[in-house]
Amino acid sequence: VSNAGVGMAGPLECQSLAAMQSLMDTNFFGLVRLVKEVLPDMKRRRGGHIVVISSIMGLQGIVFNDIYAASKFAVEGFCESLVVQALRFNVAISLVEPGPVTTEFEAKLYEEAKRADYSRTDPETADIFTNLYLRNSKDVFASLGQTPEDIAEHTLRVIEAAHPPFRHQTNAAYTPMAALKHADPSGALMTDAFYKLVFKYDAVLRLSLR
């Protein structure tokens, strides 16, 4: 089970390349290093199961989560490319894709966001992040967040499955979000829906979450 991960949220201009590279080293290359260690023996034994804790953000990018989403997209692409070869050796690969999970991980991220320096971006972007994104994100976690124990139960079901799924989403509330992307390959439907949700109907979003 590959579960190591770090988060990053905020305006792109305020994030250093060193911090981005460090995140990718944990979230993506950490997984690559692990798979390189365990896969050869699994192939020799012609059996095994690699379970990767990914994210719904590996399927759909979320505003102000550019680098974190990129790392999870990399995880998804890596596993999707590898799974067919692995199956030839009777090795299963499963991606567990949670939405928001209420842990110290998120609390720490919010605290860091409050103390961050936003002088490297424009005032409008800084205002959107601090007064719109952070507020809505807290409501999302309070309303839709799962417990770590719930994610553990989902992961256990994937591990014990007779025919392990390649992808397993843990939160049904995010199924429509992923479906939007597949409904319109041009991306226009998804982009328009998210723009309106964030900038036109944010009050309705907060009310519905509460």
Phi, psi of 94 (to 5 degrees): -130, 135
pLDDT score at 209: 59
Compute mean pLDDT per 10 residues along the chain, 210 residues long, and list them: 92 95 98 98 98 94 94 98 98 95 78 83 93 81 84 96 96 81 89 86 66
* Whole-prediction pTM: 0.90
Give residue limits of the domains in the chain: 12-209
Q: In degrees, to the nearest 5, what angle opens at C-alpha 148 toward C-alphas 147 and 153?
A: 100
Question: Residues 68, 118, 133, 174: which is the catalytic one?
Answer: 68
CATH number of 12-209: 3.40.50.720
pLDDT score at 44: 98
pLDDT score at 82: 98
Q: Which residues contact 165 (CB under 8 A, 6 or more apart)?
A: 94, 158
Please list the residues that pair with 146 across neighbouring strands: 101
pLDDT score at 207: 63
Known catalytic membership, residue 201: no
- Mapped onto helix, strand or coil, the DSSP state of residue 122 is coil
Which of 74, 93, 106 has its CA nearest to residue 2? 93
pLDDT score at 204: 64
Contact 25, 72 (CB under 8 A): no
pLDDT score at 117: 87
